[in-house]
Amino acid sequence: MHNILFYDLVEDYLERRGPLRAEHLELGRQSQARGELLLAGALADPVDGAVLVFRGESTTAAEAFAKADPYVKNGLVKSWKIRKWTTVIGGE
């Protein structure tokens, strides 16, 4: 099983993310190094959301990520939600 963290981004996300990007990416790298975060990135055309895929049965890692993310803390993310994903095909 996986968990998907969905971000709904503010309209001026691209203009505002610069000063927070290094901290955001480092948070992602740390989560990936712990074996939690598998994939992450912004949606394109338009850039109005982001998707982060976490490994595991529990939503704990995804919740902790969102709560610690400077994009969330500084208002670049309007809202976020986590959905459990029953992965049927595909490996890691």
CATH code at position 27: 3.30.70.1060
Going by pLDDT thresholds of 50, 70 and 90, the confidence category of residue 92 is low
Domain count, the chain: 1
Percentage helix, strand, coil, to 5, in the chain? 35, 35, 30
Q: Measuring CA to CA, which residue among 12, 14, 41, 9 is closest to residue 25? A: 41
pLDDT, tens digit, 9 for 90 and up, residues 18-64: 999 999 999 999 999 999 999 999 999 999 999 999 999 999 999 99
Structural domain contains residue 91:
no
Q: Can you give the residue range of the structural domain that contains 45?
A: 2-83
Structural domain contains residue 89:
no
Q: How many Å apart are CA 68 and CA 86, to the nearest integer?
A: 25
Kindly state the tokens that stand for 76.
């670049």
